[in-house]
Amino acid sequence: MTDVRRSPEDEGRWADRTMSRPLDRTKTLNELDRPAWGEQEYDSLLVRTCHRLRDKPIGEFTVEDLRIMIGHRIGLRYLVPLALEVLEQYPLAEGDFYPGDLLGSVLRIDPGFWAAEREWRDRVRAVLERLSEVPKELRAAEAMFRAGTV
């Protein structure tokens, strides 16, 4: 899995491209995305994983971590910029499922999110344009993304 940590010299460039203020990658989603989650109320592998990831510094997220959390619409404001960094370098970055599974999670985000985050939407479109062919696993998600972001 690809690690999304960046060097200190990349910090300023990343902050300028994604948010009006720098994002502290040493912070966790529980620190950034208030209110923090309390104790888990349901015991399943997915719930345990999401709670664990809420306590992990976002700068240490792997592609699989991003795929899971974005796929469940958790912390999008903080994680989509990280996912875009990865996708702009590796459009078919792979978590635990298949090449492009991170892109698939990003493409399945609700259209309302993209209406509010036009710059990020345009960056996703640019990632799609770089692909010579969209893998069959992503075609339905790509069509939904394009239809919802006209």
Q: What is the pLDDT of residues 48-87, one digit of tens each?
A: 888 899 999 999 999 999 999 999 999 999 999 999 999 9
Q: What is the pLDDT of residues 5-18, one digit of tens each?
A: 333 333 333 333 34
Q: How far apart are CA 23 and CA 64, in angstroms?
A: 21
Q: What are phi and psi of 62, to 5 degrees?
A: -95, 175
Q: How far apart are CA 116 and CA 120, in angstroms?
A: 9
**89, 64 in Cβ contact below 8 A?**
no
Angle at 94 between CA 45 and CA 73, to 5 degrees: 50
Per-residue pLDDT band at 2 (split at 50, 70, 90): very low
